Amino acid sequence: MRDCSRLTTLVVLALTLSLAGCGGDGSQQEQEASAPAEAGETQQDTVEADAEEAAPETDSDPDASDERVIEVVVRDFAIDAPEEMGTGWYTMRLENLGQQTHFVIMYRLVEGKTIEDQRREVVPAFDELMAGIRSGEIEKADIGTFLGENIPEWGLQMTYVGGVGLLAPGRSAQTSFRVPEPGTYLMECYVKSPDGTFHTSMGMLTQVDVVDQGGEGAEPEADATIAITNDGIEAPDTLPSGSQTIRVDIEDRPETFMPYDVNLARLEEDSDLEDIVSWMDWSDVGGLRAPAPVEFLGGVEHMEAGNHGYMTVDLSPGRYLWISEINAAEMHQVFTVE
């Protein structure tokens, strides 16, 4: 496959950046990540670079317009998404037609692996792990060891690119993120049903083949920015009401097998922050288990450090919460919409 070398470069680069604890902003990362293209590996890469500089207004190909959208619908329990999409900046519009809270995370599998491999070699191990935690046979401290012994190496080497965060039943949300490379990607929701079964095992896992589309697509313009670092979530104390596009910079990578995400929830008078924080941990028996303790409005799903995404949301006055699934006790921030 012609993209192997570039993929490897990117993965190594991401690892190097995260090991070095290097924050940096997304644009720096993108510049570095696109460096291999300058060597002229493929014709497509050259076209891509030229198109960014020239950007002719009278494009003969209407499909080359800048905005790339993928419509996704979730139900109890399925993810309806196109089987194929392109590279570059995408806006995922998600509609939750289910009775439970769902999200849609998107990640690239290691080269050569498909949804069948995931179903056969990865999904059952997580079901077994959760059953073990429920019965008390597996301690939370032993999760890393269990996964290491029961999942092949590739099964913990996904590249997370984003998706729409936790979204309450009946709601819609949209999140923009960059799909960097062609390859075999999966979309998944691993919220749990009331009986503790991962939605993944109930049908919420689907494959999307990403093809090289050329160009970068249109990146949204932000009204506000929040940053996710190992020290917490840096966010404005207040945001204006109305439609807001919020840029989310994922600057660090935690020492877990998944990078950070961020979700938005609307707090009510009776919302219990401690309950919400403990609900975010999938490895708790009651964690990520429906029903959710608060109304979630979407978010930016897990993505590797050095990248950024955007969520567009219509905010009414009230109190809100940014919260990550990873280390939620530290990684949350309350703010007000005026």
Residues at the site binding Cu ion, with contacts judged by CB under 5 A: 102, 189, 191, 199, 204
Closest to Cu ion by CB, 100 vs 324, is 100
| Nearest residue (CB) to Cu ion, 263 versus 307 | 263
Nearer to Cu ion (CB atom), residue 199 or residue 332: 199
In this structure, the number of other CB atoms found within 10 A of the CB of residue 276 comes to 20
**Comparison of 165 and 217: residue with beta carbon closer to Cu ion:** 165
199/289 with CB nearer Cu ion: 199
- Residue of 75, 81, 9, 1 lying closest to 39 (CA atoms): 9
CA 141 vs CA 4, 108, 137, 145: distances in Å: 35, 27, 12, 8
Smallest gap from Cβ 30 to Cu ion, in A, equals 31
Query: Nearest approach, Cβ of 273 to Cu ion (angstroms)?
Result: 23
CB of 167 to Cu ion, least distance (A): 9
163 three-class SS? strand
Minimal CB distance residue for Cu ion:
189
* Nearest distance in Å: CB 189, Cu ion: 3
Of 113 and 199, which CB lies nearer to Cu ion in the complex structure?
199
Which helix or strand (DSSP H or E) is residue 265 part of?
Answer: strand 262-267
Beta strands in 101-194 (DSSP E): 102-108, 159-167, 172-179, 183-188
Distance CA 218, CA 213 (A): 13
Report the nearest approach of Cu ion to the CB of residue 302 (Å).
15
Rounded to 5 degrees, φ, ψ at 263 are -120, 155
Tally Cβ neighbours within 10 Å of residue 54.
7
Q: From the CB of 129, what's the least distance to Cu ion, in Å?
A: 18
